[in-house]
Amino acid sequence: MALSGLQIQKLLPKTNCKECGSNTCLAFAMKLAAKKAELSACPYASDEAKKVLGAAGEPPVKCIELGPDKKLRVGAETVLYRHEKTFVNQTALAVNINDTDKPEAVEKTLGSIRDYVLERVGEKLRIDLVAVTDKSGDPAKFANLCARAFEVTRRPIVIRSSSLQSLTAAAKAVKGSNSVIASANPKTADELVKVAQENGHALTVTAPNLDEISALTSKIKEAGFNNLILNFETFSLSEQFQVNSIARRAALKDSFKPLGYPTLKFIDGGEMFDIAADVINEITKYGGICVLPYFDPAMLVSLMTLRLNIYTDPQKPIQVEPKVYPVGEPDRNSPVFITTNFSLTYFIVSGEIENSGTNAWLVVPECEGMSVLTAWAAGKFSGASIAKFIKSVGLEEQVATRQIIIPGYVAQISGELEESLPGWKAVVGPQEAADIESFVKARIK
């Protein structure tokens, strides 16, 4: 549970020595409460303060780091609804292969998983993990396929088997990949914790109901292992929705640590729309890792786009790099447009210029990812700031034209822009990007 500044101050030495950079212990406590400072900045913090504040600073849903570089993170969530603050780590998507699949089919799927990339508003979206399911019952065959899947994709593996022997063999075969062993139940937990510890993997735990799964995570944590993921045994979409919601609510609202872990859900088959509904449930309702039964690029386009929308931080707009972008194959005499570096605005404007069939330069100054009117209102898209950017990127040497087409919504900056850029004429373009094509036909072509 988050502590207030006054609660934190009671744990500090209260000497106001200023060594932390704040004038008083209270001021430092306020910064800690707002997560704008680290306790380590106070050299005199007691062990008790470190313990209490360390526990209070942990997210209610534990962060699990996966992959050889530990860059894939699941969990670490702090809110039930995105509008409260933001979601932190998006639902990781895995694609399943079975160790009884034909070798050619396996190689093809692994290559597809490795190479799949979907570009949306400048973001490159990829498949996060490979799940390998033991259907052969042959530990060596299963372990070899896990190793091959990691070798080809360099993604962490969801190692799935009901056999302790197969899980152990595969966990060793992909040691160093920081993968996921699935799953430990009350009977196999002790052995599998050892296997996970020795090989550096996370462990999913499963049990028939929430009480039993809570008892199992508590027992494992008490034994000193906490790299856990919850795998609920559910038999319908509504049941999965319910347990995901109960677990997240218990972790966040009641600080119930035994359910404070990310989840993993296997989707084992069914009609395409049923599979999509299951994955959508995971993406929108708290899923940590979701395993798709097969590689389907058409389904992935929709799911990844949905995931991007849900997990985009509303406080940090997606931005493109501030620079001068060519649209088509512009030359020195091509027209020059300008817009802001909010990704959505950039992609819409550049798309409409492209649709108009003209080759052009699109100037995109730094506007902190704001849309045109917001950036103008915040003073980030003024005549003076645009002129400064144009000079800094050397546009005057790059093009022969001395006309710049500004968005119609900010017609009022034209005078200031012409004053700040002597020799240039600011041409007021359309207000809506959709009207760029008719503007180009009427004024440029």
Instruction: Choose between 42 and 130: whose C-beta lies nearer to ligand SF4.
Output: 42
Helices (H) and strands (E) in the chain, counts: 17, 17
Instruction: Choose between 12 and 189: whose C-beta lies nearer to ligand SF4.
Output: 12
Instruction: Choose between 39 and 143: whose C-beta lies nearer to ligand SF4.
Output: 39
In angstroms, give the least distance from the CB of 37 to ligand SF4. Answer: 9
In angstroms, give the least distance from the CB of 26 to ligand SF4. Answer: 9
**Chain residues that interact with ligand SF4, rule: CB under 6 A:** 12-13, 15-20, 22, 25, 28, 42, 44
State the residue for tokens 């900045």.
41
In angstroms, give the least distance from the CB of 39 to ligand SF4. Answer: 9
In angstroms, give the least distance from the CB of 12 to ligand SF4. Answer: 5
Q: Where are the alpha helices (DSSP H) in 230-371?
A: 237-253, 272-284, 297-311, 343-356
What single string gives the DSSP state of each residue in 427-444?
Answer: EE--SSGGGHHHHHHHHT
In angstroms, give the least distance from the CB of 4 to ligand SF4. Answer: 16
Q: Nearest to residue 175, comparing CAs of 191, 153, 159?
A: 159
In angstroms, give the least distance from the CB of 11 to ligand SF4. Answer: 10
Instruction: Choose between 14 and 391: whose C-beta lies nearer to ligand SF4.
Output: 14
Instruction: Choose between 24 and 401: whose C-beta lies nearer to ligand SF4.
Output: 24
Hey, CA dihedral for 268, 270, 276, 281, is it positive or negative? negative
In angstroms, give the least distance from the CB of 1 to ligand SF4. Answer: 21
Q: Nearest to residue 77, comparing CAs of 242, 248, 323, 217?
A: 248
Q: Nearest to residue 215, comparing CAs of 257, 254, 265, 244?
A: 257
**What phi-psi label fits residue 130: left (phi over 0), alpha (psi between -120 and 50 degrees) or beta?**
beta
Instruction: Choose between 38 and 58: whose C-beta lies nearer to ligand SF4.
Output: 38
271 Cβ contact list (under 8 Å, min separation 6):
none
Instruction: Choose between 17 and 237: whose C-beta lies nearer to ligand SF4.
Output: 17
Residue type, 348: I
The alpha carbon torsion through 331, 332, 337, 339 (nearest 10 deg) reads 90
